[in-house]
Amino acid sequence: MSGKTVVITGSSRGIGRQLAVAYAGLGWRVVATARQLAALDGIPAAEKYALDVADPASVASFAARLGANTKVHLLINNAGVLSNPKRVEDVTKEQLVDAFQTNSVGPFLVTQALLPNLKLAAAENNSAAGVGAVVVNVSSIQGSIAENSSGGYYSYRASKSASNSLSKSLAIDLKPFNISVLQLHPGYVKTDMSPAGIVSTVDSVDGMSKVIARAFDNALTGIFYDFQGKELPW
């Protein structure tokens, strides 16, 4: 897949930063984004852009700067926020809205804005078995309604469930254009957002990249996977 272009949102730290490093190491053209451009310093061999996925004007500006003729073979919607009030009474409207804007609406808007770029890349594919472009939304097992046995995490769970639903519809609607859409649970990764995590960013990204490669080769779409390739319930 060397020579292909990947756009990664939320690349300033944690999973997003490791994704940028990993794909650069594989020879991809990496377009790394974050709300603050300075936060992307130190990522090797990457083109860097400021992007706030929750701001439609920022999304439109990013798409314009990237250019309508740029082929995007892989879009990884990784930017996300997490809040976890301990009591039901402490959950606020602002927390819920903020989570939905960043975790579900944002990825949809970015996908929508870059759809012409994804279609350009997808049109290159001549394989009957695979696809030419893939959209990956970094989700969470906490977005699975079937797996919710512990409650809590109201804004995070609900926004990731909404992202799952949007992805399922996108997978159906983009399939005729040779574009696959996946939801990926990265595991309980040790990051600033989850300091008690037990999976390293390196192991998480290594696993996710293998699932993504399978999606390209086998036209996998509309499926919720974890980073080890296990299919998860919605």
Positions marked catalytic: 153
Q: Where are the beta strands (DSSP E) in 118-199?
A: 133-138, 179-185
Query: Please, are residues 62 and 51 in contact by the beta-carbon 8 Å criterion?
Result: yes
How crowded is residue 229: how many other Cβ atoms within 10 Å of its Cβ?
13
Q: How far is it, in rounded angstroms, from Cα 145 to Cα 29?
A: 36
CA atoms within 13 A on the CB side of 180: 27
For helices 106-113 and 56-66, the axis angle rounded to 10 degrees is: 30
Backbone phi and psi for residue 185, each to the nearest 5 degrees, phi listed first: -90, 120
Q: How far is it, in rounded angstroms, from Cα 90 to Cα 101?
A: 20
